[in-house]
Structure formats: C-alpha cells, structure tokens
Amino acid sequence: MNNLRIKLLTAINQIVQQRADLESNRALKQANQRLEKEKHGIVSEIEHLKRHLEKEERFRESPRVRRTSSRRVLSRSYQTSSAEMQTTS
C-alpha cells in the first residue's frame, strides 16, 4: 500500500513539475515575443532615423550648390545691369 502511495505521489509531483515547466516556458515565450516586438520597434526607429539623416545630409549638400549658383547668377546679372547703366549714363 505504501509503495502504491509513493508511486502515486511521485507521478503527481512529476505532473506538477511538468505543469510548472510549461507555465515557465509559456512565460518565457511571451517575454521573448515582447522583446522581439520591442526589438522590431527599435530597429524600425533606427532605420527611420538613418533615412532622415541621409535625407538631411543630401539636403545640406545640394541646396548649397543651388544657392551658390543662383547667387552667382544674380550677382552676375546685377553686375551686368550695373555696367550697362554706367555705360549708358
């Protein structure tokens, strides 16, 4: 009778342990899923910031060229019209 009781208690303990392991694994899986979502969000934000920086760098480089060239054009046309005014006066 005692042997049977011991076997039954051992089987119950194994089931309880397996259930605890399953719950622990489930909690770990949920934690991993949360971490993966957070990682994905961070990676997406980093990619967004990279694109923003690249766009800003392109903007910094290209407008200077445009501004410089348009300034030169304006300056040249002003010089030309000033010279014409002086010769006609």
pLDDT tens sequence across 45-86 = 999 999 999 999 988 887 555 555 555 555 555 565 555 666
Count of all residues that appear for the chain in the document: 89
Measured CA angle at 39 (ends 34, 45), to 5 deg = 130
Tell which phi-psi region holds residue 84, choosing left (phi > 0), alpha (psi between -120 and 50) or beta: alpha
Radius of gyration of the chain from its Cα atoms, rounded to whole angstroms: 38
CA distances to 2, 42, 61, 80, 83 from 86, rounded to whole Å, are 123, 65, 38, 10, 5
Q: How far apart are the first and last CA of the chain?
A: 130
pLDDT at 79: 60
